[in-house]
Amino acid sequence: SAALALLGPAPGAPSCPHGPALLFVKTSQGKEEGRRFYACSACRDRKDCSFFQWEDEKVSETKLAAREEYNRNHQPSLTHRQNVDRYKNFVLLPLSKRRFCQECQQLLLPAEWEKHMDHRFLCGITTAQLKSPSQLLYPLENKKTNAQYLFADRSCHFLLNLLRDLGFKRVLCVGTPRLHEMIQSKASQEEEFSVRSLLLDIDFRYSQFYTEDEFCHYNMFNHHFFGGEVARESCRKFLYEENGERVIMVTDPPFGGLVEALASSFKKLMAMWRETKKEGHDNKEMPMFWIFPYFFESRILDFFPSFTMMDYQVDYDNHALYKHGKTGRKQSPVRIFTNLTPSMIVLPEEEGYRFCTVCQRYVSSCNQHCEICNSCTSKDGRRWKHCVLCKKCVKPSWFHCNKCNCCTLQKHSCEKTDVGCFVCGKAGHKRSACPSLSHT
């Protein structure tokens, strides 16, 4: 059972079009096997980015030159600056001349119509459409790289209201375009709305709609700013809390992404925030919401011990599985992990959440407080039950198997469960779903 282990971002790593590559090694039964190699940080699939290099490989000058050329040619044809200028011209056009090419995913100026004559395009692009680009652009649903499953309105409004109630004035949106555009459009419409946001996203299409201090082209798997020092500086400037305007980071990474690569980047963003401060931030963490499925809880806590998982179910517009309000197994598994004090996160009672005075946090109303564990133990919105032998609460559909000496599904084959997961040894998931690796 071979799997991949990430050895992390290595200094002097070679680059592909997505920035510095990450170092990997094949593992078997948790032990390193074979040569270490570099692969693309963002794409888990060779079809999306074919970059590969052995760690100890001597790469010839010719090959290096060819690679640099390739990387250059695979950057977007327009710069962010050029896109901002185009946008200024685009808004001056009368409605009848505002076209968007659906095939090239590009706003078109009249001089370019000819080139796109045989493409499908939308006409009469309104200001409202320009203010909500995530509706205009088609979602890139490649699960591992982009995975643009966009927050449903309900989740988006909930998050925004929560952030406002908590007193945050600035939101660093890392891969959450829909939250960003909701903040941007409210700020442009409502006089008294004082929240500002900066979007960091790997999807360069957004540079057509946002200025350099509203969007940075960014890869969250290797903390790479495609716009170099200029972009990094605008991010740093945004994180600088002038007039005590508190910053929070909200991120919604692809669920197929490597947790340790993400954690490493998020720590670097936190460090950036810490550096903007002269005093008082040294031992503090930048406030953060990391939105991710509940079954990654132990992995996230490995990297961020200060985090807690909230019971709120985040749901998505264009994702068939992650919808709120379905019952049983059909509920969204996506949760908010945060380093804020749990009691501060007020969840809406009308959506079925209540406050547990013992745990000092809001929980799902089916989540019963277990007297023995002394906490509200359910993770998935159903009521869990306590197993005396396992000394913990388990899913309602699980039963204690004396052969396996643990709780598991009633229909299971005993001999296979003695080791738990082949990769990390923990029970409760198979190796293909092991949160600690990306499976090849």
Q: What is the pLDDT of residues 254-298, one digit of tens each?
A: 887 789 999 999 999 999 998 877 566 566 889 999 999 998 999
Residue with tokens 């998982």: 309
Q: Are residues 318 and 149 in contact, defined by beta-carbon separation less than 8 angstroms? A: yes
What lies within 8 Å, CB to CB, of 112 at 6+ separation is none
Please give the pLDDT value at position 62. 95
Where among 49, 74, 99 does a domain terminate?
74
Query: Do 233 and 247 reside in the same domain of the chain?
Result: yes
Q: What is the rounded distance in angstroms from the CA atom of residue 160 to the CA atom of residue 90?
A: 29
Helix (H) or strand (E) holding 157: helix 153-165
**Mean of pLDDT values over 21-34:** 84
Query: Do 234 and 340 reside in the same domain of the chain?
Result: yes
Structure tokens at 97: 């001349």
Rounded-to-10 torsion of CA 224, 230, 234, 239: 60
**In Å, how far from its chain's centre is CA 153?**
17
Q: How far is CA 338 from CA 82, 226, 270, 285, 335, in A?
A: 37, 28, 13, 11, 10
pLDDT by residue (tens digit) across 129-175? 999 998 888 876 554 545 567 888 888 999 999 999 999 999 999 99
420 residue type, one letter: G
Q: What is the rounded distance in angstroms from the CA atom of residue 162 to the CA atom of residue 312?
A: 12
Query: Do 207 and 115 reside in the same domain of the chain?
Result: no
For residues 3 and 313, the model is more confident at: 313
Where among 74, 95, 112 does a domain terminate?
74
Question: Where would I find the H helices in 190-337?
Answer: 228-239, 259-275, 297-303
Rounded-to-10 torsion of CA 365, 367, 369, 374: -140
Structure tokens at 345: 């996160």
Q: What is the rounded distance in angstroms from the CA atom of residue 227 to the CA atom of residue 223?
A: 12
pLDDT bucket at 191, cuts 50 / 70 / 90:
confident
Residue 413 lies in a domain: no
Query: Do 224 and 295 reside in the same domain of the chain?
Result: yes
Where residue 313 sits, what CATH number does that domain have? 3.40.50
**Mean of pLDDT values over 13-33:** 88
Please give the pLDDT value at position 431. 55
Q: Are residues 295 and 429 in contact, defined by beta-carbon separation less than 8 angstroms? A: yes
pLDDT by residue (tens digit) across 63-80? 999 999 999 999 999 999
Q: Are residues 76 and 85 in contact, defined by beta-carbon separation less than 8 angstroms? A: no
Query: Do 200 and 51 reside in the same domain of the chain?
Result: no
Of 293, 206, 287, 212, the residue nearest 250 (C-alpha): 287
pLDDT by residue (tens digit) across 82-122? 999 999 999 999 999 999 999 899 999 999 999 999 999 99
328 SS3 class: helix
Residue 407 lies in a domain: no
Please give the pLDDT value at position 44. 79
Residue 264 lies in a domain: yes
Percentage of the chain surpassing pLDDT 90? 53
pLDDT bucket at 305, cuts 50 / 70 / 90:
very high
Query: Do 102 and 194 reside in the same domain of the chain?
Result: no
Pairing mode, strands 288-293 and 334-338: antiparallel
Q: Is the pLDDT of residue 326 over 70?
A: no
Q: In the 8-state DSSP scheme, what is residue 351?
A: G
> Which residues form the domain of 91?
80-125
Of 296, 286, 244, the residue nearest 265 (C-alpha): 286
Please give the pLDDT value at position 426. 63
365 residue type, one letter: S
Residue 300 lies in a domain: yes
For residues 417 and 349, the model is more confident at: 349
Residue 211 lies in a domain: yes
Query: Do 28 and 111 reside in the same domain of the chain?
Result: no
Query: Do 66 and 93 reside in the same domain of the chain?
Result: no
Residue 326 lies in a domain: yes
On average, the pLDDT of the chain sits at 86
pLDDT bucket at 410, cuts 50 / 70 / 90:
confident
Q: Is the pLDDT of residue 437 over 50?
A: yes
Please give the pLDDT value at position 267. 95
Residue with tokens 């007039």: 243
Number of domain units in the chain: 3
What lies within 8 Å, CB to CB, of 81 at 6+ separation is 212
Percentage of the chain surpassing pLDDT 70? 87
Structure tokens at 338: 């945060």
Q: In the 8-state DSSP scheme, what is residue 174?
A: E
Question: Where would I find the H helices in 304-433?
Answer: none
Query: Do 271 and 162 reside in the same domain of the chain?
Result: yes
Q: Are residues 372 and 385 in contact, defined by beta-carbon separation less than 8 angstroms? A: no
Q: Is the pLDDT of residue 432 over 60?
A: no
What lies within 8 Å, CB to CB, of 378 at 6+ separation is 363, 364, 366, 367, 368, 384, 393
Where among 329, 348, 365 does a domain terminate?
365
Please give the pLDDT value at position 281. 56
Query: Do 28 and 42 reside in the same domain of the chain?
Result: yes
Query: Do 45 and 187 reside in the same domain of the chain?
Result: no
Least confident of 6-10, 165-169, 357-361, 420-424: 420-424
Query: Do 113 and 227 reside in the same domain of the chain?
Result: no
Q: Is the pLDDT of residue 436 over 60?
A: no
Residue 384 lies in a domain: no
Residue 405 lies in a domain: no
